[in-house]
Each structure stands twice: as structure tokens, then as C-alpha cells.
Structure 1
Amino acid sequence: MLKLFISLLGLFLFFLINLINAAEVKNFYLNATYVNVNLDGKYERQAIGCNDTYPWPTLEANKGDRIQLWLTNGLNDTNTTLHFHGIWQNHTNQMDGGDMISNCPIPPGGTFIYNFTLEQSGLYWYHSHTAGQFADGFRAPFVIHDKNTTSGEDEFPYEYDEEVILTISDWYHQDNVELTKDFLDLYNPTGAEPIPESLLINEGMNLTWKVEPNKTYLVRLVNTGAFVSQIFFIEDHQLEVVEVDGVYVEKNITDHIYVTSAQRYSFLLHTKNSTDKNFAIMQLCDQDMLDVPGNLNTNETSYLIYNEDADLPTEAYIYDWEDFLDDYYLSPLSGSELLEDPDYQIVVEVTMNNLNDGKNYAFFNNLTYVAPKVPTLMTLLSAGELATDAAIYGSNTNTFVLQHNEVIELVLNNADAGKHPFHMHGHHFQLVQRGPDYTDETDPVPYDEENADEFRDVPLSRDTVFVRPNSYIVLRFKADNPGVWIFHCHIEWHMIQGLSLILVEAPLQVQKDEGQQLTENHISICEAAGVLPSGNAAANTEDFFDLTNENVQVKDLPSGFTGRGIVALVFSCIAGILGIIVLGIYGLLPINEKKVIEDFGVESIELDETSSNDVQPNTKSSTSL
């Protein structure tokens, strides 16, 4: 018996040593700095780069590795944060990077140390979670390889020969500060989103990707843009989808993929045997998302190169662009079944409307998110037993308190005529229902539980999903990750408008978890940023129910005003003011008698005309693989 025990102990130690050897500590030192770039070849502008270069580096690690990342804010005029999109952060909620949610902002000159262990594998990305900064270039992929802890072999479930990472995104010629100022403005009462100037691929344009014949590529594709969804396809090639948002799925062959902001798809691309022709790689903007045309070229072409001596391909077309892959019908390879009936159902309605300042805001259940004075996680940690009461987290944070291990059903009714991609921190959720497009309906169509379609037995899980216009989605997840998690639209302009809610999950368990307590580094960052690391949403440390002087939304419009009404009022006022100015200018001008005579045809004279037509060449930057 003793020999058996010793043998088992030796075997256990052997596997433990191998596990320790396989898991590594990956150290990264990143400094956010301003750099000048011309990503589309049309316009040079200031962007947010890393260590005085651009783009930010792709991070790679293995499942089980511990990440230690030092982020220094080298931006001299603004705070920043860093979010690892799709990473659950089990027991490390303060490393999630949500500005004034789980984290204090990093002030200029400050350094935050992110320290967490990777429990997932697949394609993720990292980006700033402060004030639209990822639209300025603070973004890059994060690949977590599924390595066997003993053999070191990649345990990705499908075979391939080579791996390629592609980012697609939108790009603006103005920075987010300027764009936000014009967007949240009295003179943009309809809330028309800023239109990008370009669609990028791998942070450039006109990508040339040299491939070999008869080879299988694993392509990891992520939309790191701030606004528009894109349709991605490769001329005359099929895409075999095998992973979605870090979830392995059963193979599904499609011709083109619809990718919203923040979504990730991995697919296998089998190249042809012949090398006599090259093919177009296409990005198509979802034009339904654009309120005004702008100057965006909505179809961008890159190049899949089999033969460098052959001609480059021309633009390729699809004639039924809405016939793209429907992720609702993908099946997770794990076979995870539908969660049981929910313990708690949250029902929210999305609307867009104007408040008393004339600006257009976004709402969940008539509340637009306004950040508290104390990060919500720090309110939780300092509130004791009161942490289970949603009231202490503020009247404008849309906070819901969840019990540990409850099954949560989130019903989102979209009463807006636009598509929205929604992302949840800290979880994958099951996509239980997604309603059709009701754009042509007079009124929005909310979820009707009594007449719903039959749920799938094995639904897809992911962390970012889109809802169709005037329609609904229904999501389920298990509250098994104690912490403070934000659920928000990943269109950055809508998040700026307030389209967010907060899930406070198992708050008493968070308080008991030593790993969840604030690091000394985090506390020092809060002090440097002038943010109190304790207290309720109003920074009151004495009475957590006293929300005096909390941050709240602008007051409602006076009774009788509607969005359309204020639009009409604003433009009528503008027209009236312009009319008065024009009349005043012309009224003060001296009378030119000769011109009056000419106008009445009494006398004619020849007029010299000059014209100029300066045409600038449209040069685009190019990238290659």
C-alpha cells in the first residue's frame, strides 16, 4: 500500500513539474505614446502608438501562462486604461481594465501592472477602454495558443499548415476627442455617428498575402474598428469557420462572414493547386449603418497572391450580401447544452433620444450610463454587506446584482432602427434567441416569451453578438465569475452615448477572495488620478445610501418634446439665424448701380472668369504578409 502511495505521489509530482515547466510568465512592457501615421495613404494624423511605433504588437502566449504587463501612460494630456477583450479574469477582476468600472484610470506618467493567468485559448484582442482611444489606434490582437502542458504540442482541434492573423477596422482622419465633440453636440440632434474615411486591413490598405498552393491556412480574423461592421470574403475561396470569440465550433463552410466591431472568427482556408491566377480579398462596409454617405469607400480590395508575375485581381462582388454566415446556427465543439431555466431574468430596452441639452444619448430602460465617482469594483470592496444592494452603485449606472452561480437570462429589446453589437466582460454567453430584422415595421417588435421559437439544445457561446433593427436577442450565462462586469454596445460612439449596464456578480464572494483585493500599485494609480478607491457612487464613505452629488444624466426634455421635434426646432433656429445674417450682410452692402442696370438687361458687359480644379492623387498605403 505504501509503495502504491509513493508511486502515485511520484506520478503526481511528475505531472506537476511538467505543468510548471510548460506554464510560463510572459512579461510585456508597453508605453502608450503619440505617433504620426498615414495608414490609408490619404492623410497624416496623430495616433496612439506603442513605444513610439505603430501598430501595437500582437501579443502571443499559451493557455496557463501568467501575464505580467506593465502599461505606462506616455500620453501627456489624457488618462488611459487597457482591457483584454474576451479574457474572463477569474479572481482578477481589477485587471479587466474597465475605466471607472473595475479600474481607476492611469494618469499621464503612471504605470499600471496587469497580472493574471490565462485560462482560455483562441483569438482575443486588447485595447484601451477609455474615451474612444481604440479608434485612435490603441488596439491589437492577442492570440492564446492551446498548448499541451506535457508535450508542448498545439492542441488546436483542427489541422492546418500555417497561421495568419488579419485585423480589419475603420479609420478616421480626426482623433476621438474632436469626433466626440462634434458627435455629442446640439447640432447633431439625431445622433448620426461619425463616418470613417477608410477601411483598413492589418492597419493599412492594399494587403498582399502571398500563399502557397495546396496548403491549409488557419486565418484568425478580428474587427478592431470602432464603428462599422464589415463583410469579409476571398474571391472564389470558401471559408471553413472553426472558432468564434475563442470558442471552438464544428466546421461550417461559408462564402463570406459578417464581422461586427470586436467579433473574432477563425477559419481554415484551403488554397488551390493552380498558381495561374491571383484573387481579391474583399472588405465590404455594412452601409445600412451609415446615416450619411460621407467619403468612405465602402468596398476595399486586397490581394491573395499565388503568382507574383500574374496580374493583380480587380474588385470582386457578391450579389446577395445579406446571405452571410448566421452565427446563431453554429454549434460549439464542446457540446455544451442549453443552460437550465433562468433563476433571474433581466429585461432591457435600447432607445436613442435627446435630453435637455439637445444632445442625442443612448439608453437602457430610459437610463443613460454615467460613470460613478468611485469605480464600481471599489464600491463593492468597501461596502461590506451593503454590497448586495444595487442602490449604492448609483442611480445612473444601470447596475444589477447577481447571486453566485445563478443562471441569468438577459433579454435585450432593440427599439432602435440600427444594428448594435453587444459585448459582455467576464463571460461567454449562450445565444438563445435572435429576432429577425424588423426595419420595415412601424414599431419595434420585442421578445415574446410565449411565442418564441424553440431553443437550440446546444447553442453557440460567444462574448460579442449583434441585435437586428427593431428586434431582440436573448442571452443566457451562469453567474460563476464573481466580480463587476460591464455589458455594452461595442460601437464606441454608442458607448460614449451611454449604452452600458453593470453586472455586480456575487459581491460577498469577491470581498472574501484575497486575490480580488486591490494591489498597492492599483491604489497608487487611484491616488495619482485623484480617484477615491472606496465609497459609494458619489464617493461617500460614511453613508453608502447617500448619493448626494453623484454623477447623473442631463435632465429630460420638457414634456411634449420628441426627438423629431427637437431636430425640427434646432434646424429651424439655425435656418432662421442664417437667414437673418444673410439679410443683414446684404442690407449693409453698398449699391452697385452699374450692376443693377446690367441685371435688368439695360446694358451688357463681358466678365472675366477664372477657375481652378486642383485634383490630388489618391495614394494608399499598402501592407503585405
Structure 2
Amino acid sequence: MDGPAQVSQCPILPGSSFTYKFKVEQVGTYWYHSHTRGQYVDGLRGPLIIHDPGNPFHAQFDEEIVLTLSDWYHKEIAELMPKYKDGGGMMSMEPVPDANLLNDTQNLQVPVQPSKTYLVRVVNIGAFVGQYFWIEGHTMTIIELDGSYVRPTVAEMIYLASGQRCSFLLTTKVEASQNYPIVASMDQSLIKMSDRVNTDVVGWLVYDLAQPLPSPVEIKEYNPIDDMGILPYDDMPLLRKPDQTIILSLNMEHKNGGSQYTSYFFNDVTYETPQVPSLFTALISGDAATSVATYGRSSNPFVLEHNQVVELILNNRHMINHPFHLHGHQFQAVWRSESGGGDFPVGTLTEDDFNQKPVRRDTLVLPNGGSMVIRFRADNPGVWLFHCHMEWHAETGLVATMIEAPLKLQQQSIPLAREHFCAPSGTEISANVTNEVDSLPKIHEKTSSLALGPIVLLLAGFVAIPTVIIGIFWICKKGQSDDEPKYRRLEPSLEL
């Protein structure tokens, strides 16, 4: 379970509800949002923090601050998405945000006290642009990325793509003599064809309300810390010699002679939501669940064997950066080229050329015209999406489906209530999309009328979340291998 309609469940229809009950063993900084028709662009999103009673940095801070970064559109997704998909010409590109927000507002004031240390959690809940983030007159000591602890790393500026999170320790000044700007600045390489957007949002660390709120110093060059050089807190070594390597090459196609955008592709396949949720297909297909043909080509499926080390090689044949997010895992960020570095040079690099203690994240930026390598152990049976976390790209097909350990997955079951829940939407729950399983009813492969949005999260203790149109990303039942970091299980309930 993690929420995407037609992947792990049927859609939650207007006026209906759905309750998720799950146990979570993860801790840290996450977020939740809708998975359907780009709804999170309109604001159906927010941070979700899971406190760790065994936090190794607990004694080093006094209080917590949560900050969200988000691009914002004045028009709703129902108007913006059709125009993006069907027209506008080659130079229109993705819809340009109308504003930049800090905690869903502008001119945010964050009160602080002198000589204190704060744990600041920053989440980019935006739909499109990456953000440069800094606090004038202060340094940040990074201790967590995407829910994974890291070795304390000092930075003056960070970069967060859509979906990424960063937590850092910030120690305030001894004297409360002035206030300091908090600045988030949109990555203008993604919106450089437009001059109508205000790319910066400014807030303040407020030491003294009686003091002025100064304007930020103009930045001539952005120089964020490189997350590839940050080390995992537990020193987990590189997963060497992968059992399975998947190469995904990203591209985009125009239609009508190049005058309009149409679709994004992984290996010449544009993802379309299947008529039968892929999880249901995996559960009912018996031995055929290990065949990619069972799931239909348009779902862009890849079958992973249980407990094997999986390597994903990403080639970006497009002109902008893309943040890629994997459900169900924190992967190792093994290697990344510079922008314009071309496809990954298969066969020319050795294991010694890779990060020997790679940082773990669930979202990583693929550079424009470049490539990157990530690895993870397939120890979490399920159906997990891998997709670009720019909503415009996920909605136009830049998605793949990881069918992980399907035979192991068949040892689990879905509550029978799914039949009653799925019936109103007309979703098939036991049909055979590709006619690969003789015992199942046969239907033609076609796609659902639902469009798929991005992804989200889930996390700690025993939880019951009443939700409308909200997906949850991460893990329902996580089987840890010896390679994975061990977290203390949270016993109290999380009330949302």
C-alpha cells in the first residue's frame, strides 16, 4: 500500500473516503499529497514528520522548525494541464509558477531566541521547480536527507528539488541585535524562458520584533552543497556487483511537426495508468506474476527478484534536470555525471569509481544531458513507482513500475472490502489486462481514464488515517535485510 490510483488501489471517488491502517518503522522528514490528476499542484499536500525517540542528534538541539517550499499557480490544474499536454508550442514548455511560497505564504517571520540550536526541517512540496535555500548570517549543519540520517555536514546553501527534504541544525547568534533573511530562490534554469515570475520568496529569522526586517543581499552565483559528497550516518558501504541492472533512457517527443509537446518516455514507453491496479494483478496472477508481459507494456513494468541488488542507470536525453523518486526504498546515490556528460559509459567504470559509502535518498536529481546510477536491495515486496517528481512530467508519462518480489508478495492479501470500494469507479480487480493468465477473465489492454500524479509518503507506529484523495508513499510492511539501517520502532499512535 502506498496510494497511487490504479497502482496499489482503486481511486478514492469524490464524496467517498478511505482509511489507511499501517505500521511504520521509518523516522524523519516526509510529506503527503494526492496522486490523482495533478491535484497536489492545487494544494492537496503537506509535511509529515515522524519523530525518532532514538534520534542520535536529539541532545544537540532545543526546538524544531518545519519549513515548506512551494511553487504556486494562480490557475488550477484542471485548466493548466490540458494546455500543457495539448498545445502552446515548443517554446511554452511547462507552466511557469506565478509565485514562490515559504510555509504557503510570503514574508514569513520565524521567531528565534539567541544562543539556541534549532532542528530545521525543510521540505520542497512544489510541483515543478527546484529551490536554492539559505539563511543569511548562519550556517546549516545537515543531519538528515529524505528521512535518512547523514554525517553532520556544514553548508551555507542547499538545493532541494521537488519532493526532496533536508534537516539541519542551526545555532542562533549570541546577541539579538538584528533579524536575518530566509531566502528560497527558484531554479531559473527551469523557467528561463519567462520573465514574469518572482523567483524568490523571503522570510526572516526574527530575533527582535523591534528591529527592521532587512532585504536579502543579492546573490550573483548559486553554490549549493553537492549532496553526492554527503556520507550516511551509519557508514553503510556500497552495494557492490548488482544482480540486476536496468537502463532507463529519458526522452520527450513532439507532435504536429514539433509545434506541440506530447509525452515523456522511458525507453520509448510512455506510462499510462492500467485498467487493473498493478498490485491486484501481481497478487492474482500466480507464476505469471514474474513476467513483465502480465502487467501490460504501457505500465512500463520491471520485475525484481526478492533480495537481489538492483542497479538503475538513468540517461537524460532532455535539456533540463529531472528529480527522480522511488517508492518503497531509500536508494544509494552511487554515481552522477556533470550536466551534459552524456549517457552512462557502460563498461568503462569499475566499482572503485563509485561512491564507496553513498548517501541514501528517495529522490535524486538527474542532470540535464547527463546520467546517474542508483542501487537498492529488493527486500520490500510490493508494486512501487519510479517517476519524475515534476508533476507535469509524471502526468505525461515519465513513470516506470517496479514489480518487486511478486511471488513473495502473493503471501500477503488485500482486504475483501476492496470489491465494494472499487465497484463505484468501475475498476476491474481480477481481470487479465494482457491475457497472460488463462484462469482470469480476458480484457483488452487499455488505460484508465485516470491520469496519474506524483507520489507521497507514510510512516510510524500503528496509524489510521481517514483520507480523501490522498496517497501515502513509502512502506506498508518493510522487510529489512542486514544491509538496511535499523530504526527503533515507534510505539505510540500518530494522529493526523
> TM-score per shorter chain, which class?
0.7 to 0.9
Per the alignment, residue 252 of structure 2 pairs with 352
- The separation in 2 between residues aligned to 1:336 and 1:506, in whole angstroms, is 23
Secondary structure of the 1:418 match is coil
Per the alignment, residue 305 of structure 2 pairs with 403
- The separation in 1 between residues aligned to 2:86 and 2:398, in whole angstroms, is 17
Does residue 99 in structure 1 map to residue 5 in structure 2?
A: yes
Is contact 1:160-1:216 (8 Å) kept?
Answer: yes
Q: Name structure 1 gaps, 5 residues minimum.
A: 1-93, 149-153, 554-625
Is contact 1:407-1:478 (8 Å) kept?
Answer: yes
**1:7-156 matches, cutoff 5 A:** 94=1, 96-147=2-53, 156=57
Per the alignment, residue 446 of structure 1 pairs with 344
Is contact 1:413-1:447 (8 Å) kept?
Answer: no
Does residue 497 in structure 1 map to residue 427 in structure 2?
A: no
Per the alignment, residue 512 of structure 1 pairs with 411
**1:258-337 matches, cutoff 5 A:** 258-290=159-191, 292-321=193-222, 323-337=223-237
Q: Name structure 2 gaps, 5 residues minimum.
A: 450-496
**1:158-557 matches, cutoff 5 A:** 159-189=60-90, 192-290=93-191, 292-321=193-222, 323-355=223-255, 359-438=261-340, 444-451=342-349, 454-513=353-412, 517-537=413-433, 542=438, 548-551=444-447
| Pair 501,355 (structure 1): closer, same or farther in 2 beyond 3 Å | farther
Cα deviation 1:232-254 (Å, max 9, x = unaligned)? 00011101101000111111111
- The separation in 2 between residues aligned to 1:235 and 1:480, in whole angstroms, is 43
Amino acid at match of 1:496: E
Secondary structure of the 2:14 match is coil
Secondary structure of the 1:318 match is coil
Is contact 1:394-1:536 (8 Å) kept?
Answer: no
- The separation in 2 between residues aligned to 1:191 and 1:336, in whole angstroms, is 44
Cα deviation 1:241-291 (Å, max 9, x = unaligned)? 010001111111111100000000000011001211111111111000115
Deviation at 1:396, TM superposition (A): 1.0
| Pair 311,191 (structure 1): closer, same or farther in 2 beyond 3 Å | closer
The structure with the greater share of residues assigned to helix is 1
Per the alignment, residue 475 of structure 2 pairs with none
Deviation at 1:430, TM superposition (A): 0.3
- The separation in 2 between residues aligned to 1:318 and 1:547, in whole angstroms, is 58
**Percent same amino acid among aligned pairs?**
41
Q: Which has the larger radius of gyration?
A: 1
Is contact 2:435-2:442 (8 Å) kept?
Answer: no
Amino acid at match of 1:372: P
Deviation at 1:451, TM superposition (A): 3.7
Secondary structure of the 2:247 match is strand
| Pair 173,525 (structure 1): closer, same or farther in 2 beyond 3 Å | same
| Pair 519,123 (structure 1): closer, same or farther in 2 beyond 3 Å | same
- The separation in 1 between residues aligned to 2:81 and 2:388, in whole angstroms, is 16
Secondary structure of the 1:430 match is strand
Deviation at 1:189, TM superposition (A): 4.3
Deviation at 1:296, TM superposition (A): 1.2
Deviation at 1:527, TM superposition (A): 1.1
Is contact 1:540-1:547 (8 Å) kept?
Answer: no
Is contact 1:532-1:539 (8 Å) kept?
Answer: no
- The separation in 1 between residues aligned to 2:59 and 2:230, in whole angstroms, is 16
Is contact 1:100-1:372 (8 Å) kept?
Answer: yes
| Pair 549,478 (structure 1): closer, same or farther in 2 beyond 3 Å | closer
Amino acid at match of 2:236: S
Is contact 1:107-1:525 (8 Å) kept?
Answer: no
Amino acid at match of 1:373: Q
Cα deviation 1:62-91 (Å, max 9, x = unaligned)? xxxxxxxxxxxxxxxxxxxxxxxxxxxxxx
Amino acid at match of 1:143: I
* Greater relative contact order (Cα < 8 A, sep 6+): 2
- The separation in 2 between residues aligned to 1:356 and 1:383, in whole angstroms, is 40
Amino acid at match of 1:446: F
Secondary structure of the 1:537 match is coil
* Greater alpha carbon shift after TM alignment, 307-316 vs 290-299: 290-299
Is contact 1:182-1:188 (8 Å) kept?
Answer: no
Cα deviation 1:565-605 (Å, max 9, x = unaligned)? xxxxxxxxxxxxxxxxxxxxxxxxxxxxxxxxxxxxxxxxx
Amino acid at match of 2:242: P
- The separation in 2 between residues aligned to 1:140 and 1:552, in whole angstroms, is 27
Aligned residues: 446
- The separation in 1 between residues aligned to 2:65 and 2:59, in whole angstroms, is 15
| Pair 533,434 (structure 1): closer, same or farther in 2 beyond 3 Å | same
* Greater alpha carbon shift after TM alignment, 193-202 vs 291-300: 291-300
Deviation at 1:307, TM superposition (A): 1.3
Amino acid at match of 1:463: D
Q: Aligned Cα RMSD in Å?
A: 2.1
- The separation in 2 between residues aligned to 1:355 and 1:397, in whole angstroms, is 22
Cα deviation 1:11-36 (Å, max 9, x = unaligned)? xxxxxxxxxxxxxxxxxxxxxxxxxx
Deviation at 1:536, TM superposition (A): 3.0
Is contact 1:132-1:492 (8 Å) kept?
Answer: yes
- The separation in 1 between residues aligned to 2:347 and 2:307, in whole angstroms, is 23
Is contact 2:30-2:147 (8 Å) kept?
Answer: yes
Deviation at 1:156, TM superposition (A): 4.3
Per the alignment, residue 457 of structure 2 pairs with none
Secondary structure of the 2:353 match is coil
- The separation in 2 between residues aligned to 1:356 and 1:292, in whole angstroms, is 22
Per the alignment, residue 22 of structure 1 pairs with none
- The separation in 1 between residues aligned to 2:427 and 2:266, in whole angstroms, is 26
Deviation at 1:520, TM superposition (A): 3.3
* Greater alpha carbon shift after TM alignment, 535-544 vs 126-135: 535-544
**TM-score normalised over the length of structure 2:** 0.86
Is contact 2:117-2:172 (8 Å) kept?
Answer: yes
**TM-score normalised over the length of structure 1:** 0.69
Cα deviation 1:498-547 (Å, max 9, x = unaligned)? 0000000110111112xxx1223433221122111122336997566966
| Pair 539,183 (structure 1): closer, same or farther in 2 beyond 3 Å | farther
Is contact 1:488-1:495 (8 Å) kept?
Answer: yes
- The separation in 2 between residues aligned to 1:525 and 1:313, in whole angstroms, is 54
